[in-house]
Copies of this chain bind each other. A is one copy, B any other.
């Protein structure tokens, strides 16, 4: 695996100069029909049918969001892209263009940047999106940061407006598309130095698999509210509840299948923690009217009630999940006393998280 540190003989960004780096990046890109002007000028130009563009940004920092010994450059590219594309999907949209700002120690090997590019392009290819623009900056020794912006549009057949977080109504069914807790379970196996226990969970941690098509499908099916599960089910369900002025009850019976899938690898208690609080899963959570059948690919895990906050059946659920600047660790979320963050480096370097 090529790490961002590299080997002694590697060619480094500083050896090539900006133009030399770009000459190795550009040939790895391909442009979809929606790209009216790609990289290489002052800006790109992207078609957005309907005259409205969805836009979101998300970043990853070496030593904060990934560890070189656990995630390859391509893994980082896949994961960052998945996080951004899932945000577009969670509005009912389809992503079409990506922009990337890379700030990197000039001592970073060019092979790492090639791998990053390939990961981005491969993940973007799943929805037909293109890498249309970017920026290269130097950074202090050891520092690598990648910020991505995703652009997209609302396809015809949806609701005409994006599916926001604030539309959940009392009586709605709460449903999920995609997996729950797999990324966090994979991370726990990496932390325990036992990735071979379940390589597929570890693979999901390295490269999440968001159900991109289920976003527009939910919009077409009339979803009242939707969100991307990036920071943990409890925290992200709480965001829908807060924005909508309602409470959400998650149901043990409907969550059990997700827990049972993980329990053999990480144990039953940890499996519940992964399902309820695990981050970086990038599944989709939505609220639908109870009167209609859920669209294919969506599964009920709870319901919307009057009140506020998130409960597991009758029990109040502590707000676990991920905060980039969390001041307080909540030990009851993690019986082993670890911080409740689920990024790769959360327990290696708690000082990065404040508190």
Contacts and interface: CB of A to CB of B under 8 A. Distances in A.
A352 B138 contact: yes
A207 interface: no
Contacts of A140: 61, 63-64, 142-143, 352
Given A43-B87, A51-B51, A354 B12 contact: yes
A42 B228 contact: yes
A161 B140 CA distance: 39
B61 A139 contact: yes
B64 A17 contact: no
A97 B55 CA distance: 9
Nearest to A162: B45
A90 B41 CA distance: 9
B53 A53 contact: yes
Contact of A162 (B37, B59, B107): B37
A161 B148 CA distance: 26
A59 B327 contact: no
Interface in A322-354: 323-328, 351-354
Interface in A149-163: 149-152, 161-162
Given A16-B325, A147-B147, A325-B13, A135 B57 contact: yes
Number of copies: 2
A250 B248 CA distance: 67
B99 A42 contact: no
| Contact-size category for A | 35 or more
A322 to B, nearest CB: 9
A88 to B, nearest CB: 6
A56 interface: yes
Interface string A56-86: 1111110111000000000000000000000
Contacts of A148: 101
A23 to B, nearest CB: 12
A137 B21 CA distance: 26
5 nearest CB pairs, A to B:
A14-B354, A147-B147, A106-B354, A101-B147, A43-B56
